[in-house]
Structure 1
């Protein structure tokens, strides 16, 4: 997702209402904020869609509709072809929205009720329907208007947020506008960047409406956008006399019968991400292929937990789960890993075995060493005992619940991956692309974060930096190879470049 904004802080709808109220209390009239919003949107529209054949603005009630009416008035002043499609009758408007309507009426803007309007077939559509106050699913004419906008196949500029998208969670109940471009006002709402928000927002531009910086000091937020530029300094510089023992030994445990490639991808990613030594404990039949592909990796064939146990004296960290499977062998591998007392990165079937209760760690085994979990939404749902839909309905709540339940740092994967730890702060990953929706991407991620922990980063810092590096590597690879053909191993050559 392309984002034009400098601030990394993300806000809820209530936070933004408080910021808006504080700006008004500080001396900026509410109508002035609305006019600034309408002007910022109008100027962006002309920048991205010069000389539009027609500007069709769908206006609801409240401030979102008022922003649309201001935009319409400004377009009419420039003698641009513009029409407002009204979802709320003028006599139902009040406050600043009514003033904005009067401004548009004064400028001669053509207005027509939605039930009488023909669907636009040319030009640009502006979505000023619902804004950030929506709770639940759009209904009636609003739902029909959203469907009409989406079926038009015209470019859409959404004001503040695509209508139908939840500003706090990034979820959609019912229908929502799919925008090509969204201009959000005062602050970035966290739901724009994760879940369905990542798909519906399009390019995101922030207009802070010249709200003074001091206004933001009164509102605290526990959600932030993660950036490689700010996180890369977490990696310490390497001394000139460094040796491989300084950078940890990552052991990947996985690769049940038929799944050796997953363990190898995690191991290779760990090696490319700077681990001093990398080994793999896997089924014996996979050893030859691993050594042929990546001779720098030490490969050990193990057929039981008893054989694995003596090998666990060597590593500084274990990555458990890539290709692990759910067989008795798999359970033995996970049980020995937990008993080892080593820091753990748990992925894939290691998470599924935990969720099924087939391996139950004692509380003491979690308290004094870092755990990092990397579930996708379905794995997160199993761990929490809820449905995948419930996870996606509030990804922020889900990642917090996982972190608390397992006393662990957590990367909840998906569009707009979320990173949480016990400090309560959630990071949102806004890099990455749809090409990452292919097998093995999670295995590469687990190897990256394992290597970062082995080099001395905390599990939380490793999760934040690793998730961003993983996404940025996918973006670099997609630039060269395209998104549709992207493979997990395509990311690995870019890890050294980024780190």
Structure 2
């Protein structure tokens, strides 16, 4: 079986992202804009997918095409016709009542039947030894788990010993949210059409889409003219946020970062956050922590300024700092609560993470000068729901967090979502499974806070920080692989990304 884990194909993908609902509602308008019919657009989709299959699988001579009862199935019928014209052996399975097909899909099926004969019924035995499966079962319209006979066909396709090319979206994956609530195609590749859909970039998408490809079907100019509600972020975006430094400058020009945390036993968290701030370019970084951690942190990174966290040192630190990060290793003791209360009185830009978020969930304090960086569990506590509800719509969850708590929200995970109250939304299309290890969030806190101290707005700092964080992990994965990656591996790669 092919490796179905999503691989990066970032350079060929657009940065504008839309909901699948929006694409469906505007597809007819788009086709009219360039003077073609919806059927012609379907022909273009089928041809684009056929050419991609030929490019990726030049030796595949026997294709099994699964066609559902919508326009996604219509794309499959078009592909079958192109494949037969090229001399490829095709077995085509049709699912659902032919009389309920949309007009364009019905025309595509009729063109297949009139020229090449029969369509196998949904319960037919599949021919053996086919080289490639093409998934045109459900497309972008699904909002719940697939029903029969689709769920059975999806399971059969996943068990068949051939790679799967999914059309527009793997069948069973919600193209808006990236949720797979039931059976879902485990695609080796996915080719999506017209516009990039949000559900292909977050949620469970990376588990099932394989390598993601995109074809605008001749509509790229029209798509660029639309006001995209979501931005897809990659390392190519860093140049618009991070500029070369002026030759004549000093450390005070690049931000003074105060990092607070490190309860007894968690000194590593505060050290990693602080060093990430240095590596990202902060001119000065001061750490306030438990007295037990002062010597170890200074020994590991003498460029840091480290003091015991007391009421007096925190007052002085807040007055000194340009930006404040609190939470890594903080704990929830009275010591931690006192620090949170003191920091909350400041109007300076601040970032709250980890245990600071657990304490925030109790107070529900709303403010505009704060960036919060929850993982799904912390987000669930903040919204007083369960993790499943957070993951059922990560974009909506991030927006709800921004509405309730103000400022900027970074909802971490595969396809990290960045949101604010002004309806700005972005998805960081970077990172890999090697980041599922302790300490990664501490680095992100230091990176984002450092960028904020260097003059980026809180939203831009969050976006750029997520890209640097995930991009550094991608460099590490390329060099040594994902398994065994630890947070401090990223520290030496961060300077490569903050000097684009």
Fold equivalence (TM over 0.5): yes
Q: Matches of residues 385-404 of structure 1 in structure 2 within 5 Å?
A: 385-404=384-403
Name the CA shift for 1:441/1:447 in 2 (closer, same or farther; >3 Å): same
Which residue of structure 1 aligns with residue 77 of structure 2?
69
Which residue of structure 2 aligns with residue 180 of structure 1?
188
Which residue of structure 2 aligns with residue 201 of structure 1?
209
Name the CA shift for 1:6/1:307 in 2 (closer, same or farther; >3 Å): closer
Distance 2:412 2:48 in 1: 34
Distance 1:375 1:150 in 2: 34
Q: Secondary structure at the match of 1:115?
A: coil
| Aligned length in residues | 490
Which residue of structure 1 aligns with residue 381 of structure 2?
382
Distance 1:385 1:476 in 2: 36
Which residue of structure 2 aligns with residue 163 of structure 1?
171
Q: Secondary structure at the match of 1:322?
A: coil
- Range moving further from structure 2, 465-474 or 118-127: 118-127
Which residue of structure 1 aligns with residue 5 of structure 2?
none
Distance 1:346 1:164 in 2: 36
Q: What are structure 1's unaligned runs of at least 5 residues?
A: none
Q: Matches of residues 45-64 of structure 1 in structure 2 within 5 Å?
A: 45-64=53-72
- Range moving further from structure 2, 112-121 or 33-42: 112-121
Alignment of 1:292 onto 2:291: no
Check conservation: 1:345, 1:373, Cα contact below 8 A: yes
Distance 2:243 2:18 in 1: 31
Distance 2:394 2:473 in 1: 22
| Match for residue 42 of structure 1 among 17, 38, 50 | 50
Distance 2:217 2:413 in 1: 32
| Match for residue 110 of structure 2 among 94, 102, 108 | 102
- Range moving further from structure 2, 255-264 or 304-313: 304-313
Q: Secondary structure at the match of 1:145?
A: helix
Q: Secondary structure at the match of 2:134?
A: strand
- Range moving further from structure 2, 392-401 or 116-125: 116-125
Which residue of structure 1 aligns with residue 159 of structure 2?
151
* CA-CA distance at 1:442 after TM superposition: 0.6
- Range moving further from structure 2, 173-182 or 144-153: 144-153
Distance 1:495 1:75 in 2: 47
Q: TM-score, normalised by structure 2?
A: 0.94
Alignment of 1:457 onto 2:464: no
Q: Secondary structure at the match of 1:183?
A: strand
Check conservation: 1:130, 1:164, Cα contact below 8 A: yes
* CA-CA distance at 1:212 after TM superposition: 6.2
* CA-CA distance at 1:114 after TM superposition: 2.3
Which residue of structure 1 aligns with residue 319 of structure 2?
313
Q: Secondary structure at the match of 2:491?
A: helix
Distance 1:190 1:394 in 2: 11
Q: Matches of residues 27-426 of structure 1 in structure 2 within 5 Å?
A: 27-108=35-116, 111-118=119-126, 122-211=130-219, 213-214=221-222, 217=225, 219-302=226-309, 304-305=310-311, 307-357=313-363, 361=365, 366-367=367-368, 370-426=369-425
Q: TM-score, normalised by structure 1?
A: 0.94
Distance 2:294 2:220 in 1: 61
Distance 1:102 1:191 in 2: 32
Distance 1:93 1:405 in 2: 44
Q: What are structure 2's unaligned runs of at least 5 residues?
A: 1-7
Name the CA shift for 1:241/1:179 in 2 (closer, same or farther; >3 Å): same
- Range moving further from structure 2, 18-27 or 46-55: 18-27
Name the CA shift for 1:120/1:449 in 2 (closer, same or farther; >3 Å): farther
Q: Secondary structure at the match of 1:493?
A: coil
* CA-CA distance at 1:226 after TM superposition: 1.2
Spell out, residue by residue over 1:324-378, the C-alpha distance to the aligned partner (whole angstroms, 9 max, x if none). Answer: 1111111112222212333211111110111133xx64x6xx34xx211111111
- Range moving further from structure 2, 403-412 or 206-215: 206-215
How large is the RMSD of aligned CA atoms in angstroms? 1.8
| Match for residue 20 of structure 2 among 13, 28, 32 | 13
